[in-house]
Amino acid sequence: MYASWVVGASHIRSVDSGWPAVGARIHHSVGAWPLLIHDSTEVRESRAGEVLELEARLWPAGSALVRLELAAVDGDTEVTMVEQVRRGPFSALPDRLLDALLVPRNREALARLTDLAVRRSD
């Protein structure tokens, strides 16, 4: 379901067995055919029901650390998403500019994730 909620992901080529164990990867494509970039996202930390931390790669654009934290709130699950650019040309951009790019993208991703979760529970 990764490509259904992660903004920019267009296709999942494969998923390592053991996902979401630390070190497992999702092999994805980003973009639109024929201009697809193939790369992967690797689990850095995983605690079921609490946290999933990923290193999302999109070379040559670089990589980012994406942390999803889950918390029980009034019988529901609240998901917080934080993304930090780690490598590549975007890592040189000022934080204010990165926030202007990433915050709306991540809000959209969480909205898509919410839609998927609500439909699955109906």
49 Cβ contact list (under 8 Å, min separation 6): 70
Q: What is the Cα–Cα distance from 86 to 96, expressed in whole angstroms?
A: 15
pLDDT at 79 over 90: yes
Q: What is the pLDDT of residue 121?
A: 61
- Whole-prediction pTM: 0.85
Pair type for strands 35-47 and 51-58: antiparallel
Domain encompassing residue 114: 2-121
Q: What is the CATH number of the domain that holds 90?
A: 3.30.530.20
Give the torsion through C-alpha atoms of 25, 29, 31, 35, to 10 deg: 140
Are the C-beta atoms of 55 and 44 separated by less than 8 Å?
A: yes
> What residues pair up with 102 in beta bridges, in sequence order?
none
Provide the number of structural domains found in the chain.
1
Reported as a single tens digit per residue, the pLDDT across 45-59 is 999 999 999 999 988
pLDDT at 120 over 80: no
Give the torsion through C-alpha atoms of 23, 65, 68, 36, to 10 deg: -80
